[in-house]
Amino acid sequence: MSPTPLQIAAQRLALAGKVAVLTGAGISAESGVPTFRGPGGLWENHRPEDLATPQAFARDPELVWRWYNWRRRLIAGCAPNPAHLALAALEQRVGDFTLLTQNVDGLHRLAGSRNLLEVHGNLWMVRCTVCGALYEERGLGLPARPACRQCGGLLRPHVVWFGESLDSAILDRAWRAAAGCQAMLVVGTSAVVQPAAGLASVAKQAGAFVIEVNLEPTPNSREVDVSLMGKAGEILPQLVD
């Protein structure tokens, strides 16, 4: 009897000494994390795309912080699901493991992932606009103009806004991980947001076995070695176990 695609993927993943993982919004949707644009796509009559910019923060930091405090409250009760936990467990078993996420919800950290690249930042991290200090701040009632612990300067959310460049050091590590891995997991991502969307192709061209886990087909589905359709919280524990 021929092995199923899930069994083939699990076998190849178990044999890999170097594993790279890319995750997108789909993995956190199962934890109840709302979409970026939120209900109706508006917040206090503002489009999120107009608030998540350096210009909006320079113009009205208190407005931007009200929005981010609202977003933080929305996800404060969300917990890692079995998919996040399965990836954290996989990291413990693989000698060379890199997890790249497009999500800013911090759930991979809560699940225990350590070699983690948060390409778009983290809602629970803050960065000083004066001295550059970067640290975690999980308080839900931040002031309208939160001040840096170190210098008193104005803090900003540690997220990548529209019009800002991604961290080149993080991208470099992501490309090297994709190009050097033996197996790659692409989980819950639409595969349309660049540059992360190109990582699967980089891994595939370098000879890696690429596994996609998603609710529906994506532009990557024809290129990967195995495409598993379904919930990440159900599929990833089976792959890892």
Half-sphere exposure at residue 231, Cβ-oriented, CA atoms within 13 angstroms: 9
Whether 131 contacts 148, CB under 8 Å:
yes
Which residue, 164, 163, 188, 166, is CA-closest to 175?
Answer: 166
Sign of the dihedral defined by the CA atoms of residues 111, 114, 120, 121, in that order: positive
**Active site residue: 46, 84, 108, 120, which one?**
120
Whether 196 contacts 22, CB under 8 Å:
yes
Residue 46 is among the residues annotated as catalytic for this protein: no
CA–CA distance, 143 with 7 (Å, rounded to integer): 51
Which residue, 23, 31, 82, is CA-closest to 212?
Answer: 23
The catalytic site residues sit at 120
